[in-house]
Amino acid sequence: MTENVQRRFFSGVVVTVLLAGYVAYWLPSCAGGSRWGLGKTIREARQILSGLESYRTELGAYPEGDSVAILSALGGENSSHSNYLHAPPGVTNSAGFWLDAWGTPYEVSVAMPAETGSARPGPSSPLPSPMVKSAGPNKAFGDADDIMVDWNKLRSSNKQP
């Protein structure tokens, strides 16, 4: 091959690699991005719910408060200083909120049983129902694309027949 042909071949390879990198970078935010974000969000919600269940099992009750308070308790700010949730780098914002795949903070809540009004149920009380919500791809809560993962529904769907 002559030097000119080699240079053209090398330039073509570089352009192809750069184009492939560009496509790979933008592909998740295109049409398939919602599906990618959905899977990531459900995995993270399950991770948060699993941490909540471990917390309840070891400390006897779910943590109380808003999303930041609950996630802080799972992260080690609790009476036993135990960490029930390991946040990967870049998952939280400066206010301590866990962010979903679209950069919106999750809403983490523990719905209290009506009889007790507390995260510390008595022996005959039904357990509170932890839930993690994501605003979904449109980043707005309260519409059809919200993603909600409820621990009691998740637990009952994982039971073996």
Q: How confident is the model at residue 23 (pLDDT cuts 50, 70, 90)?
A: very low
For the chain, which residues make up each domain, given as ranges? 1-30, 33-157
Residue 155 has a pLDDT of: 55
Contacts of 120-124 with C-beta under 8 Å, sequence gap 24+, read 120/60, 120/61, 121/61
How big, in percent rounded to 5, are the helix, strand and coil portions of the chain? 45, 10, 45
Burial class (CB in 10 A: 0-12, 13-18, 19+), 111: middle
Q: How confident is the model at residue 8 (pLDDT cuts 50, 70, 90)?
A: low
How confident is the prediction for the chain on average, in pLDDT? 76
Segment 51-88, tens digit of pLDDT: 999 999 999 999 999 998 999 999 999 999 999 988 77
122 CB contacts (<8 Å, ≥6 apart)? 116
pLDDT at 123 over 60: no
Phi, psi of 142 (to 5 degrees): 95, 20
Residue 134 has a pLDDT of: 94
DSSP summary character for residue 76: T
Using alpha carbons, list the distances in angstroms from residue 118 to 48, 55, 56, 108.
20, 16, 13, 16
pLDDT at 118 over 80: no
- pTM for this entry: 0.67
Q: Which of 18, 19, 45, 59 is nearest to 131 (CA)?
A: 45
Using alpha carbons, list the distances in angstroms from residue 77 to 100, 112, 115.
22, 21, 28
CATH architecture under which domain 33-157 falls? 2-Layer Sandwich (3.30)
Whole-number Å distance between alpha carbons of 69 and 97: 9
Q: How confident is the model at residue 37 (pLDDT cuts 50, 70, 90)?
A: confident
